[in-house]
Amino acid sequence: MKLLQAAVIFVLVPTLAQAFDPLTVSVVAGGAVMAWHLLSSDSWLKCRFQECCNRNSTLNFTALKAQLDNRLFGQHLAKDVVLKAVLGFSNNPSPKKPLMLSLHGWAGTGKNFLSQILAEQVHPAGLRSKFVHLFLATLHFPHHDQVKLYKEQLQNWIRGNVSACPSSVFIFDEMDKMHPGVIDAIKPFLDYYEEVDGVSYRKAIFIFLSNAGGDLINKAALDFWASGKRREDIQLKDLEPLLSVGVFNNKNSGLWHSSIIDRNLIDYFVPFLPLEQRHVKMCVRAEMAARGYAVDEKIVQEVADEMTYFPKEERIFSDKGCKTVQAKLDIHEDVVMGDTKARG
Ligand X SMILES: Nc1ncnc2c1ncn2[C@@H]1O[C@H](COP(=O)(O)OP(=O)(O)OP(=O)(O)O)[C@@H](O)[C@H]1O
Binding-site residue set for ATP: 105-112
- Distances in Å between the Cα of 259 and the Cα atoms of 59, 155, 285, 314 are 29, 16, 43, 41
By beta carbon distance, the residue nearest ligand X is: 110
DSSP state of 316: -
Here's the x/- map for ligand X, 203-222, by CB under 6 A: it reads as --------x-----------
Q: Which of 283, 288, 299, 329 binds ligand X (CB under 6 A)?
A: 283
CB closer to ligand X out of 109 and 168 = 109
CB closer to ligand X out of 110 and 166 = 110
DSSP state of 139: H
Q: How far is the CB of 88 from ligand X (least distance, A)?
A: 23
Rounded to whole angstroms, how far apart are CA atoms 136 and 240? 25
Q: How far is the CB of 312 from ligand X (least distance, A)?
A: 21
CB within 8 Å of 173: residues ≥ 6 apart: 112, 134, 135, 136, 137, 209
Give the footprint of ligand NAG on this chain (CB under 6 A).
Answer: 56, 58, 60, 62-63, 66, 133, 157, 160-161, 164
* Residue 109 binds ligand X (CB under 6 A): yes
269 φ, ψ (degrees, to nearest 5): -90, 125
Q: Which of 59, 64, 72, 81 binds ligand X (CB under 6 A)?
A: 72
Per CB under 6 A, the segment of 9-17, 89-97, 222-230, 318-326 that binds ligand X is: 318-326
- The amino acid occupying position 55 is R
Q: How far is the CB of 276 from ligand X (least distance, A)?
A: 11
Q: How far is the CB of 47 from ligand NAG (least distance, A)?
A: 14
CB closer to ligand NAG out of 56 and 235 = 56
- 3-class SS of residue 223: helix
Q: How far is the CB of 164 from ligand NAG (least distance, A)?
A: 5
284 φ, ψ (degrees, to nearest 5): -65, -45
- Burial (CB < 10 A; 0-12, 13-18, 19+), residue 190, is buried
By beta carbon distance, the residue nearest Mg ion is: 112
Q: How far is the CB of 196 from ligand X (least distance, A)?
A: 30
Here's the x/- map for Mg ion, 105-124, by CB under 5 A: it reads as ------xx------------
Q: How far is the CB of 110 from ligand X (least distance, A)?
A: 3
- Distances in Å between the Cα of 62 and the Cα atoms of 56, 101, 232 are 16, 20, 22
Helix ranges (DSSP H) in the chain: 2-18, 22-39, 46-49, 61-71, 76-90, 111-122, 137-140, 147-164, 180-184, 187-190, 214-226, 236-249, 259-262, 277-290, 297-306, 325-343
Per CB under 6 A, the segment of 59-67, 71-79, 198-206, 218-226 that binds ligand X is: 71-79
Here's the x/- map for ligand X, 257-276, by CB under 6 A: it reads as --------------------
Residue 75 binds which one of Mg ion, ligand NAG, ligand X, none, with CB within 5 to 8 A depending on kind?
Answer: ligand X
CB within 8 Å of 138: residues ≥ 6 apart: 174, 177
- Distances in Å between the Cα of 100 and the Cα atoms of 64, 104, 124, 227, 308 are 17, 13, 20, 34, 33
Binding site for Mg ion (CB under 5 A): 111-112
